[in-house]
Structure 1
Amino acid sequence: MPSRLTLRLLAVVTAAVAVLPAVSGPALADQEPITLPPLPVRLGEGQPCTQASEKTATAVSWSGQALGLTRAQQLSLGEGVTVAVVDTGVGSGIPALSGRVTALGGADVDCPGHGSFVAGLIAAAPQQGSGLVGLAPQARVLAISGTDDRGAPSAQRVAQGIRDAAERGAEVIYVGATLRSGRTELASAVTYAAGKDALIIAPAAPDAVPSEELGSDGEPPRGPYWPAALPGVLSVVDFGLDGVRQQKAPPAYRPDIEAPGSGMVSVGPRGSGHYIGSGASLAAACAAGAAALVRAHHPEMTAEQARRQLLEASYPSDIPRLDPYAAMSTVLPTARSRSALEGAKPPAARMPEPADTGPRTWGLGIAGVGLAVVLLVGAAGVVIPRGRSRGWLPPAH
C-alpha cells in the first residue's frame, strides 16, 4: 500500500509543494503560490488511477535553469530522435506530447502516471500558460509497459520492453525500474539493444522502497540495482535545488552521472495539469532527454559515442554532473588520437659529442717536456760549476 512506501524526499512527495509563477511583470506579484499534487510512486490494490491534475505550474523549472536548457536548445531540440519510455505507460490525450507518442500494446494507458511524468520531462513541448518544457521537445516518444497496472516492475517485463524498444529503432531507451534480481535476463536484453545502437539510461537507486525493506538506518537495501549497474547502461543519481545529492550512491557500485531530480514538475497521465515528484528515476529522465539532444545534434555518433559525450563533457565532480550544452558542443579526442597521445614518448635526450681532446693532449705533452728541460738546465747550472770547482771530487766529510 502507498502508506508503506517511504519516499526519499519527504518534504516534496508526502506534502504538496508551493510553486511560484514566473514573474513577467508587476501584475503577477500578488498571485498566490500554486500548490501541485504529489506524483504517486506506485498504486496500492484498489487505489484508483491517477487523475488529471487541476493545477498548472507557470514558472520555469529550476531544473531547466540548472541544466542551461535555454542555451542547449539553441543547438538541438531532439528532432528526429525516438526515446523509448519503458515504464508504466504514457497516457493519451496529453497536450504537451500530442502527436509524438507511439504506444505498444496497452501502453497508452498509464494508471499510476509515472511514465507520463517522465515522458514530459524528456519531451514536453511548450504550452500556453505553462512553464513546463522537456529537454527535447521535438523528440518522439515510444511508450512501452515495463510494469503491471499498479506500477510494480518485473525483470521479464523490463527486459522485453528493452528488446521491443531496440527492435523498433529507439536511439535512447529510458528504463524507470530499479530491480534487485533478474540480472542475467536484463543483461541479455541490454546486449541486444547495444547491438541495435541504442543508449540505455536508468536510475541508480529507487525513488521509494517498502518500509519493511529499509535498513535499521532508514536507508534502502544495498545495491546494485538492475539494469543501471549493467555495463553499458548510463546510471543516474539525483541532486536537488541546493545542489546537494538527494540519493546516496548505492555502496555496491558507483553511478555514472547525476542530474536534477528533486522537486521536478511535469505532466500527469492525462490533461494539461501538472504534478510534482522527486527521485533518481526523474534524474534519469533528464539524462535521457539530454541524450536525445546529443543524438539529434550529432546523428553520426554511435550510442557509445553519445554516452561518452554525456560523461566526459559533464561538469566535474565526485560524480559527474549532467551538462547538455557541453555534451553537444565539446569536441573530445578520438580513440586513435588519445592512444597516440598516451603512447607517445618524449624524444630521448642526446648528449653532445665529446670535443676532440687531441690538441689538448699534445699541448699538455709539449708543456711538460718544456718544463722538464727548464728544470734540467737549471739543475745543470748549479751542479756543473760546483763540480768543476772541486775537480769533480766528492765533497769532503
Structure 2
Amino acid sequence: MERTPWAQQLLGLRRAQELSLGDGVTVGIVDTGVDAGAAGLKGRSAGDGKRDCVGHGTFAAGIVAGGRRDGVGLVGVAPRARVFGVRATTAEGSTDADAIAAGVDAAVRGGSDVVLVSVAYGASSKRLRAAVAAAVKKDVVVVAPAAGGPQSSAAAYPAALPGVVGVAAVGVDGGPYPTGRKALSSPPDLVAPGDRVVGAGPGGGHFVGGGDAVAAAFVAGTAALVRAHDPSLSARAVVERLRATAVRADGTVPDPLAGYGLVDPAEAVSGIAVDEPSPGAVARAGANDSYRVPERPRVMSGRTAWVVAGGAAFLAVIAVALGVVVPRGRARGWRAGGLG
C-alpha cells in the first residue's frame, strides 16, 4: 500500500514530521497488549503486554508510532517514539475500571511520557480516579476515547475524569463519526480521524478500524511529537497547546461534539514560545509554558472545520471504493475499534 491514507493527509502529518518524529518519547498503550514484532514497531516496543490476541492494542500502537517502511505510505504519527504496551483486558478483550487503572499505573511505572488508554469503560472507580490523578501529578499526558462505543452517548472512563484528554472521531464525510452521534454530557477535548482508518495489526498485513479509540491514538501520537520537539513543556502545557492549535468551527468552545476542534499536529508542534499567550490561545498558569501560534487562519465556519482537507476525504472514499485498502483483518473477521 504505497498511497498515503486519508487520515494522514487530513492531519498534514508530513509537515508535522519535518519538525518532530517523536524521538526520546515513550507512549504507553493501555489496551489488549501490543505485538512487539508487528511491522513498524520492531525494536521500539516494550512492556508487559507483548502479545495481542485481539489486535486492538497493536492497531492503536501502529497509529501512534508505526515506523516508515519502503514502499508503504502508511506511517504512525510519531514514527520514532517508543511504545510501552500494557494489557488491561482479558484475552477476549473485556475490561473494567480497576483493570484500566492497573494499566495506567503500569504504563507510568514504565516511564511513559504519554499514556493512551485506548479501551474505555462505562463507569469509574476509586482506583481509576487515583491512577489518573497520579499520572497527571507525574507530568504524564493521558489520552482516551470520549465514548465507549460507536453508538454510545454515555460518558466513558477515563476520558470523563479531570486531566484526561477525551477524543471523539471524525468521519471521511467531514462530520462526526458515527453519523448522527449525540453530544456527550462532557464534551470531548478534541476530534481526530476515526472512520475507515488503515493500520497495522499483529501478524502483519493491513487492517481497517474506526471509532473514538482510533481517533484518540492520533491525538496521543501528536502529544508525543510535541513532547519530543519541546521537552521543557509540562504535560498540562502540551494539552493546552493541542487545544489552542486545533482547527475549530466558529462559535463557542468547547463544542458539544467537536470540543476545541480537529487536532492539528503541525501547528501543535510549531508553537513558538513567548512570554504571554497570544489572543485566542487557551491560557494557563506559568509564563514559561505560554506560546503563540504561527499566523494563519485558525477558525473555519460550520462543518468545514471537520474537513480541513476535503480533497483528502474524497480521495479516501475513492480509495476504499477501488479496493486500495485491502485489510487482511477483514478476511479474518476482525476489525479494529471494536472496543470503542
The share of aligned pairs that are identical, in percent, is 40
Correspondences of 1:80-229 after superposition (within 5 Å) = 80-104=24-48, 107-208=49-150, 219-220=151-152, 222-229=153-160
Spell out, residue by residue over 1:123-176, the C-alpha distance to the aligned partner (whole angstroms, 9 max, x if none). Answer: 111112322100000000000011111111211111011111112220000001
Distance 1:110 1:236 in 2: 24
8 Å contact kept, 2:36–2:46: no
Residues matched between the structures, number: 268
8 Å contact kept, 1:183–1:227: no
1:311 maps to which of 225, 243, 246: 243
Letter in 1 for 2:76: G
Q: Which runs of 4+ in 1 moved over 2 A?
A: 182-185, 247-251, 330-338
Q: What SS does the aligned partner of 1:262 have?
A: coil
User: Are residues 1:284 and 2:216 paired?
Assistant: yes
Spell out, residue by residue over 1:282-306, the C-alpha distance to the aligned partner (whole angstroms, 9 max, x if none). Answer: 0000000000000000100111111
Spell out, residue by residue over 1:331-380, the C-alpha distance to the aligned partner (whole angstroms, 9 max, x if none). Answer: 37354669xxxxxxxxxxxxxxxxxxxxxxxxxxxxxxxxxxxxxxxxxx
Letter in 2 for 1:324: P
Given the superposition, is the C-alpha separation of residues 188 and 336 from structure 1 closer, same or farther in structure 2, using an over 3 Å criterion? closer
Q: Which deviates the most, 239-248 or 145-154?
A: 239-248
- How far the C-alpha of 1:223 sits from its partner, in A, is 1.8
User: Normalization by structure 2: what TM-score?
Assistant: 0.76
In the other structure, the counterpart of 2:172 is 241
1:270 maps to which of 203, 216, 227: 203
Distance 1:299 1:169 in 2: 14
Distance 2:30 2:9 in 1: 27
Letter in 1 for 2:163: G
2:19 maps to which of 63, 75, 91: 75
Q: What SS does the aligned partner of 1:95 have?
A: coil
Runs of at least 5 residues in structure 1 that lack an aligned partner in the other structure: 1-56, 209-218, 339-397
Given the superposition, is the C-alpha separation of residues 132 and 305 from structure 1 closer, same or farther in structure 2, using an over 3 Å criterion? same
Distance 2:206 2:55 in 1: 11
Given the superposition, is the C-alpha separation of residues 158 and 336 from structure 1 closer, same or farther in structure 2, using an over 3 Å criterion? closer
User: Normalization by structure 1: what TM-score?
Assistant: 0.65
Runs of at least 5 residues in structure 2 that lack an aligned partner in the other structure: 250-254, 278-284, 289-340
How large is the Cα RMSD of the aligned pairs? 1.6
User: Are residues 1:329 and 2:262 paired?
Assistant: no
In the other structure, the counterpart of 1:383 is none
User: Are residues 1:255 and 2:197 paired?
Assistant: no
**Greater Rg, structure 1 or structure 2?**
1
Distance 1:183 1:64 in 2: 36
Distance 1:58 1:103 in 2: 31
- How far the C-alpha of 1:240 sits from its partner, in A, is 1.4
In the other structure, the counterpart of 1:347 is none
Spell out, residue by residue over 1:85-143, the C-alpha distance to the aligned partner (whole angstroms, 9 max, x if none). Answer: 00000113213111000021xx1110010000010001111112322100000000000
Distance 1:245 1:291 in 2: 22
Q: What SS does the aligned partner of 1:85 have?
A: strand
- How far the C-alpha of 1:207 sits from its partner, in A, is 3.6
